[in-house]
């Protein structure tokens, strides 16, 4: 299996539109990744193989409903696991609670419901702790984000002045 810094798992291909947002972030930073479908309940052997043989430094697991995927991944590795609770029958609250309620000693970092982009950003931050070039790219991204917010703030202020004058 090819070496990927991040392995992104999702319980179903119907999760792809959300998880693709995380893949976009990883591509932006040039992070090698594998994104695939593997179900904690329907294909546990596949999940085991991907975790044990994938060579990833960080795992991102997106699942809805019972959302056991991130927890199963965390039980199989000592590497960081980031859970992405996905919208489901209870608007994602069931997935969120399933993902964050891990037993002591088997943590899963959890982002917002449908928060795959932030999961990928967290993966980038984790990888940047051992990669100075990646750390610089991350700092540059943050600087650009701040500049965009400042520009939007100036734009709103200018529009507000026109209305009040």
Instruction: State pLDDT tens for residues 33-56.
Output: 999 999 999 999 999 999 999 899
User: Strand pairing partners for 86?
Assistant: 64
pTM: 0.93
As a whole number of angstroms, the distance between CA 100 and CA 95 comes to 9
Look up residue 159 and give its two tokens.
């529009």
| pLDDT tens readout for residues 96-146 | 999 999 999 999 999 999 999 999 999 999 999 999 999 999 999 999 999
| Closest C-alpha to 99, from 123, 52, 64 | 64
């Amino acid at each position: 299996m090819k070496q990927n810094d991040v392995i992104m798992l999702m319980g179903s291909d119907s999760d792809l539109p959300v998880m693709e947002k995380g893949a976009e972030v990883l591509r932006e930073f040039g992070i090698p990744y594998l994104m695939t479908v593997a179900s904690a309940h329907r294909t546990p052997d596949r999940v085991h193989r991907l975790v044990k043989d994938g060579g990833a430094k960080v795992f991102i697991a997106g699942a809805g409903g019972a959302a056991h995927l991130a927890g199963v991944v965390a039980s199989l590795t000592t590497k960081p696991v980031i859970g992405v609770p996905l919208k489901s029958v209870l608007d994602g609250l069931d997935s969120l609670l399933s993902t964050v309620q891990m037993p002591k000693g088997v943590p899963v970092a959890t982002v917002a419901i449908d928060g795959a982009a932030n999961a990928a950003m967290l993966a980038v931050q984790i990888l940047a702790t051992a990669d100075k070039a990646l750390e610089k790219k991350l700092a540059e991204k943050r600087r650009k984000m701040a500049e965009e917010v400042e520009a939007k703030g100036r734009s709103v202020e200018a529009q507000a002045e026109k209305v009040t004058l």
